């Protein structure tokens, strides 16, 4: 499905973090809809390195790109020389900057700020030099525990990742003001779920995690009080829609990408069991996290008005559409490794 009238054929598109969840979905969107586009993926790819919390340091995975026919450059966004070397080979019309440390439970401020913020200056300068339209990933983590609905311009980050994305937004605003000829759009993703998220490991959405628990014949494990813990869950296809429409807007800025309709963790477990035809009940356990966010809801009126963005997937329909992929990943990736 094409989300705008823009013809990306014969354009050159850079996707940083293109072997990751959202980046890989963007790559295949362009490949399937605009076969004459030149698509360049820049990604560090997954290694066995882990943070102190035990989570992987990088999520880009070659299996997310099986079937991809474009160019792939393996590199680290912390390496300015590697990013600048892209300029010697390509002239980009569009840059989708998805690469980042996105784990909210990483508290090493130095590595997060270096990776997410320092590299952003290089990306911005590349876009300015090439007159490329820049769409970058911000995050709902910039809001912290502020009451819903979360509204752009009212942020209060509570972890290093959220602050790094807040800092990126402030830098972007300055560039928009100082270089009004630039096309810069930041997208604050809420809780994204969908195909190609499996390799995010423990940071993948609760949708796929609960789904795999149920497929293993177990009751989904939820925090106590999960019927009152709600999130704005947004399907990957709506996230791609927002990215594409961000290329067309005449107004630069930072915009929320959510549904505006928060749903509970319990809803997810119940929908999955209904779709899978199971009745395992629910296993509850105490929430081990302090300062846990209990309610998120994106204010998306501005996104509608400026981007023309309109979420198309309710949670029930998104999970139903996603379910064959959840099952495939379980059979191909989980079962053989049990």
Active site residues: 161, 200
Max Cα–Cα distance, the chain, nearest Å: 58
E strands present in 175-331: 184-189, 191-193, 221-223, 230-231, 233-235, 253-257, 263-264, 283-285
Torsion of Cα atoms, 99 then 105 then 110 then 115, to 10°: 0
Q: Which two tokens stand for residue 38?
A: 């030149």
DSSP readout, 107-156?
Answer: --HHHHIIIIIIHHHHHHHHHHHHT-EEEEEEEGGGGTTPPSSB-TT---
Distance CA 326, CA 320 (A): 10
> Are 298 and 140 in contact, with CB atoms under 8 Å apart?
yes
At residue 4, φ and ψ (nearest 5 deg) are -155, 175
C-alpha distances out from residue 70 to 15, 30, 38, 73, Å: 11, 10, 7, 10
């Amino acid at each position: 499905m094409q989300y705008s009238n823009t013809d990306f054929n014969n354009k050159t598109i850079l996707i940083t973090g293109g072997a990751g969840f959202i980046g890989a979905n963007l790559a295949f969107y362009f490949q399937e809809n605009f076969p004459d586009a030149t698509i360049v993926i820049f990604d560090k790819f997954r290694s066995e390195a882990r943070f102190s919390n035990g989570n992987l340091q990088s999520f880009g995975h070659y299996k997310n790109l099986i079937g991809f026919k474009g160019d792939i450059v393996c590199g680290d966004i912390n390496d300015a020389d590697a990013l600048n070397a892209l300029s010697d080979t390509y002239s980009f019309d569009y840059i989708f900057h998805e690469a980042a440390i996105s784990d909210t439970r990483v508290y090493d401020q130095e590595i997060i700020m270096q990776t997410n913020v320092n590299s952003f200056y290089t990306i911005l300068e590349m876009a300015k030099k090439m007159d490329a339209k820049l769409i970058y990933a911000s995050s709902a983590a910039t809001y912290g525990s502020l009451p819903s609905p979360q509204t752009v311009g009212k942020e209060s980050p509570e972890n290093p990742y959220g602050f790094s994305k807040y800092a990126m937004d402030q830098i972007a605003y300055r560039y928009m003001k100082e270089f009004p000829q630039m096309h810069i759009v930041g997208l604050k993703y809420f809780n994204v779920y969908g195909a190609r998220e499996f390799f995010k490991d423990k940071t993948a959405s609760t949708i796929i995690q609960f789904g795999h628990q149920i497929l293993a014949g177990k009751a989904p494990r939820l925090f106590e009080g999960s019927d009152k813990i709600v999130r704005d869950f947004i399907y990957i296809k709506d996230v791609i829609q927002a990215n594409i429409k961000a290329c067309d807007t005449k107004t630069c800025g930072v915009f929320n990408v959510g549904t505006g309709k928060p749903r509970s963790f319990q809803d997810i477990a119940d929908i999955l069991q209904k779709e899978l035809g199971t009745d395992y009940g629910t296993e509850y356990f105490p929430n081990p996290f302090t300062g846990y966010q209990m309610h998120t809801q994106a204010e998306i009126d501005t996104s509608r008005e400026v981007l023309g963005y309109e979420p198309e997937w309710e949670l029930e329909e998104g999970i139903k559409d996603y379910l064959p992929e959840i099952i495939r990943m379980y059979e191909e990736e989980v079962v053989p490794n049990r």
